[in-house]
Amino acid sequence: MEWDQEIDATGLLCPLPVLKARKRLAGMTPGAVLRLVSTDPAAVIDVPHFCAEAGHVLLKT
């Protein structure tokens, strides 16, 4: 899968990966793809929840 932008949140604990994603997504055009890399186990729960609440589509976990 190709992406337009990427965030490497390796080593960061939630909520930092979600906050970084929210900030980056705010400046992206609709339909653009953001790749978020995170090692925090909580991101598996927090990122899908954020996407659902904010109206974003989660393409893959």
Alpha carbon distance 29, 9 (integer Å): 21
Indicate if 14 belongs to the active site: yes
User: Could you say which of 7, 9, 14, 54 is catalytic?
Assistant: 14
Active site residues: 14
